[in-house]
Structure 1
Amino acid sequence: MAHEQHQQLIDALHECMEACNHCFDACLQEEDVKMMADCIRLDRECADMCAYVEQAATRNSPFVKELAGVCATICEACGNECRKHDHDHCQKCAEACFKCAEACKQAA
């Protein structure tokens, strides 16, 4: 598939990476950081995976489908964790994660 065919996926991955990075940083500022540990950990995993899959898609890697499948799993896990927290940054991150998971599933 050409880079243009992956554009929707690329956009969702980039949005999710940014949301996870913002959530990660905001969680570190929360009063009870220890309570946010799982959220922080998954934000990092998700942001890193989204960034990698975005790069793979832009270079037309032959492994985009497989990587997108793994990324969907990570995005869903991150979204489910973020959804547990009432913080605005967590809710926005969860939304971006679920949107990205759907885009990844379509690509996979």
Structure 2
Amino acid sequence: MNQQYQDCLEACKRCLEACNHCFDACLNEEDVKMMAHCVRLDRECADACALAITAMQTNSPHVHEICELCAKICESCAEECAKHNHDHCQQCADACRQCAEECRKMVLS
């Protein structure tokens, strides 16, 4: 694995974990229907992070495009999670913002 990917790889792993935790916690909220969009974005973001992790670990020739898409999805997830006052949503929003930032750095490298 290319060492230049390390910061992005770690951010993607943290984001994937935060999204999975948020997804699970949202399903336990009192008004699950209100959390539906958040749950969908958590899933999509976790999947995008998993794809980016694999792309970096395998030194994919499409790693920059994948990281660019991951950043966009992370930004959408962060925006949605930030709307909710739950701790798990706020923590997820932070992890998504950090991941988007690291993915953007990858695209520019």
Residues 34-73 of structure 1: pairs in structure 2 closer than 5 A: 34-73=33-72
Matches within 5 A, 1:15-94: 15-94=14-93
The sequence identity of aligned pairs, in percent, is 59
Normalising by structure 2, report the TM-score: 0.96
State the superposition RMSD in angstroms: 0.6
Structure 2: distance between partners of 1:56 and 1:69:
12
TM-score (norm 1): 0.97
- Find runs of 4+ consecutive structure 1 residues off by over 4 angstroms: none
- Measured in 1, the distance between the counterparts of 2:18 and 2:50 equals 12
Return the alpha-carbon distance in structure 2 between the equivalents of residues 56 and 70 of structure 1.
12
Gap regions ≥5 residues in structure 2:
none
Distance 1:51 1:17 in 2: 7
- SS of the aligned residue for 2:30 comes to coil
